Amino acid sequence: MKFFEQDECTPRFFMTWLLPAKQFGPREFLSIDSLFKAHPSGCLLIISSSMDSIHGLRILKPLIRKGFRMLSVTPDLLFLVENTPARAWFKGRKDGKRDPGVISLGQNLSNLMRLAFLDRYGGAYMDTDFIVLRKFDGFRNTIGAQTMEVVSSNGTTSHLTLNNAVLVFGPEQPLVYKFLEEFASTFNGSKWGFKGTSLGDWDCQEAWIEARTGHRPYRRGQLHGSATVSVLSSDNYTVLPPEAFYPVDWNRIRKLFRRPRSKSEAQWVKDQVVRLSRIAYGVVHLWNRRSRRLRIEEGSVMERLMLDHRVFFFFFFVKFLRDKRCFGSANRARPCSGLLEPCS
């Protein structure tokens, strides 16, 4: 709280990182770099025991030296879930009385941690696999939809999948509390994306939200850039459509990393850069699970976005990201671990 209460500390971002600090590589650094490019007066808290270290400080030092306000802190998860529905689940898991499932426990703990942090402190949570394109403001109690299907004649959303890669909520919000409640009561550690990639996957979404918050959402048009998008909204929360935070679906993300091989493909790259800059609500999700081993090729959409939305002069950084020894098929065993270290 002392860190977030600094003068002009807006917006207040936080991320989680439960892997070793040596795996915090160029892709993650790029997310933070682009975040501060768009929000020079913002603050970023990284909830991570591995980044709360000398090694973590060394990775973040280039940005800290620029005067950007960021802090890594070791989480006390038991403290975070205190007085929440998830406390009994966490204590049972810690005592070995709950089956953690086959999916990485760290992934599920990260999902729990972001919800618990929002419930207690509020703020803007982001995954570490985003590029921030412009200022991230105007959001209040907001979550993004990964998919949104509207099939009825009156525009009612019949099916909608929420994703928790971006969450913007104030403290003690009823919807976040319900997410914690359902995390604990329906936990399935053997299902990928449980309360994460598919934070919610429900039919009759308006009725579902009304039952959990006491507020019936309504559909409204919201002007964004030159386009009007349809959002679910009430006085207390907003559900944004997929083009907000997930303008490129996970099964199409590969194309953003490929260099153009013809005039038509070069035009497509230009069109995509313009489209993403106009449609996205300031961020583009890179779907790291699908793209982390892809090489950023010269002239690709990713390279254009990366060079347009960074703080640093990236000659070496761009070369590092393109190096097939780091992100290509020649060494698929691991991505490169350091930020500005040569590949071994």
Strands annotated E in the chain: 12-16, 43-47, 69-73, 123-126, 130-132, 142-150, 157-169, 200-203, 218-224, 227-233, 238-240, 283-285
Residue-wise pLDDT tens digits, 200-210: 544 334 444 55
* Alpha-carbon dihedral angle through residues 279, 285, 291, 292, given to the nearest 10 degrees: 140
- Average pLDDT rounded to a whole number, residues 17-46: 91
The least confident of 8-12, 80-84, 128-132 is 8-12
Q: Using 50, 70 and 90 to split pLDDT, how confident is the model at 266? A: very high
- Average pLDDT rounded to a whole number, residues 139-145: 85
Q: Using 50, 70 and 90 to split pLDDT, how confident is the model at 268? A: very high
Residue-wise pLDDT tens digits, 288-309: 888 888 888 989 999 888 887 7
The least confident of 107-116, 180-189, 213-222 is 213-222
Of 69-83, 99-113, 127-141, 149-163, the range with the highest mean pLDDT is 69-83
pLDDT at residue 227 in the model = 38
Asked if the model's pLDDT at residue 114 lies above 50, the reply is yes
Asked if the model's pLDDT at residue 190 lies above 80, the reply is no
The reported pTM is 0.78
The sign of the CA dihedral 42, 272, 321, 244 is positive
